[in-house]
Structure 1
Amino acid sequence: MDVLDSWTAGSYSAAGATHQTFRKGSGPGVIVIHEIPGITPAVVAFADEVVGRGFTVVMPVLFGRPGAPATVGETIRSVARICVSREFSMFALQQTTPVAAWLRSLASDLHTELGGPGVGAVGMCFTGGFALAMLAGAPVAAPVLAQPASPAPVGRARKADLGLSPADLASVKAKVAAGCPVLGLRYQGDPAVGTRFDTLRDELGDKFIAVEFPGRKHATLTEHRQQEAVDRVLAFFEQQLNP
């Protein structure tokens, strides 16, 4: 049985782009943005837990083969796709990923359909900061940054950069100051995250909720899953999205 058999496949077009989507559940909306190499069985397992807690989950396919395992070959194929795509920026400083426009539109339409205080969004690894980029221009009420690793942590400046334009950073800070918290997850020794948690603390203050684990592993919600991380995300969604 394919791990996505119980999910409804569809597509969504906006901002000059079309991406396949998978949807399941009922209740407030949550957008689960997969990590490299794609929607792996571990990503689906996490998303199924979100569905099980009473949420409508939409998983967009930004790259990779849906349902394929997290192998070296799949990772190489996905990185190659990212490197040549105009929707992503791996190394740019103080620049919001171009695919954020598409994600914001998806979040806005999902919120219009389902109502409530907003939608949840969780990004992982390369897409970890995408939830923050969505907060800048969409009705996101529960942004989760799982081991944010973009831009690529090459050099001191990139290790600290949040992957946001100055205007989007200002918008995020205004929304956070108005009451929207941001949840971040990481292993403390994960080199891919760089010093972004320090930047998030400096920019967002005590509204940035850091959940940190010892060690040098990476994928807190999936391949190197920590149950506490999953539980904290589910509790965060319930707190922020259930009025």
Structure 2
Amino acid sequence: MTDRSVNEHDPLEDFQPRSITLCEASKRVHIAGSGPAVIVMTEMPGISPHVARFARWVRDAGFTVYMPSLFGSDGALPSAEEGLEVVQRACVSAEFRAFANRKGPNQSSPVTRWLRALAALAHGECGGPGVGAIGMCFTGNFALTMMLEPAMLAPVLSQPSLPFDDPAGLEISPEELSAVRRRLDDEDLSVLAYRFEGDRYCRAERFAAYAQALGPRFVARVLPDEAANTTSLPPFFDQVVNSPHSVVTTHLIDEAGQPTLAARDEILAFFASRLGVAD
């Protein structure tokens, strides 16, 4: 992977942008690589240079990355104010259920239907045993709901943060959660999940609720706060997030021996194991 700064706009020139229409909705999807498909869902406030860096790591590990544009400006490094505007728009969008109390507890965001269709499409285009997916922050819970699509074999939840107003909320209906648990048991599958211990947006209550619902199929990794990067943070993360949060993007320390880099490597190995990619 060509070294590039994560502190300036990323033109995403090494990805192919495609407009993909599914479920009567069109979205831009940035695609790169070859091999089995992995869907990389961006964190707030959009496909930042840090998110693009992670997507390139996935691509270089032997996968075809499908990175849908769900909010924000693709490749941008927004100011704190711009990032807040993106969050506010997403919170009132009909595609997302950012708050449990507004639309009832434990319901999946409507956009997950589109993402499940994307997983099926990507599997058809790339082949292999199935598809992987990682959600982060605002999209962190989505990879679990995507397990309702049979092609999805390797779900990763990185700092799943919705719903904002219920620390133990799971952003999935009880019926869907039961269906996912049955599939995990029947097919001997698992879910990887990551958070920092002191994360203000993905708290211990959420991981406890996942563990209760999914049992040993839920494999949780809780990183110490001191493992988070604290230097040269983008304005949105420095001024708004203001907490250890983004395990494999902004708060990752790209140095050997760092817990966040070990988390990245574990995720790549998880995708490889489930999707049949040799080391």
Normalising to structure 1: TM-score of the pair?
A: 0.94
| Structure 1 unaligned regions, length at least 5 | none
The Cα of 1:138 is off from its aligned counterpart by: 4.4
Which structure has the bigger radius of gyration? 2
Cα displacement string for residues 122-179 of structure 1 (whole angstroms, at most 9, x for unaligned residues)? 0000110010111123421000000000011x2xxx2111100122111111111121
Q: Determine if the alignment matches structure 1 residue 229 to structure 2 residue 263.
A: yes
1:145 to 145, 148, 157: 157
1:147/1:70 CA distance change after superposition, 3 Å: farther
**Structure 2 counterpart of 1:111, one-letter code:** H
Q: Report the secondary structure of 1:192's partner residue.
A: coil
Say yes or no: does 1:238 pair with 2:248. no
CA RMSD of aligned residues (A): 1.4
Aligned-partner Cα distance in 1 for 2:88–2:23: 23
Alpha-carbon deviations, 1:183-236, whole Å to 9, x = none? 001101112112111111111111211121111510001010111111111011
Residue ranges of structure 2 left out of the alignment (5+ in a row) = 1-8, 226-242, 253-259
| Residue pairs, 1:1-243, within 5 angstroms | 2-92=10-100, 93-152=105-164, 154=165, 158-178=166-186, 179-194=188-203, 195-215=205-225, 217-225=244-252, 226-242=260-276
Deviations 1:94-114 (A, max 9, x none): 101000110000000111222
Aligned to 2:71, the other structure's residue is in SS state coil
In 1, distance between residues paired with 2:189 and 2:78?
Answer: 33
Moved more, 73-82 or 25-34: 73-82
Q: How many residues align?
A: 239
Q: Using the alignment, how far apart are the partners of 2:78 and 2:150 within structure 1?
A: 30
- Could you list the structure 1 runs, at least 4 aligned residues long, displaced by more than 6 angstroms after superposition: none
Alpha-carbon distance, 1:3 to partner: 3.9
**Superposed CA offset, 1:2-52 (max 9, x none):** 440111011111122111110000000000000000000000000000000
1:77: Cα distance to partner? 2.3
Q: In the aligned structure 2, how far is the partner of 1:219 from the partner of 1:11?
A: 28
Share of identical aligned residues, percent?
43
CA contact (8 A) 1:104 1:138 kept: no
Deviates more, 1:38-47 or 1:107-116: 107-116
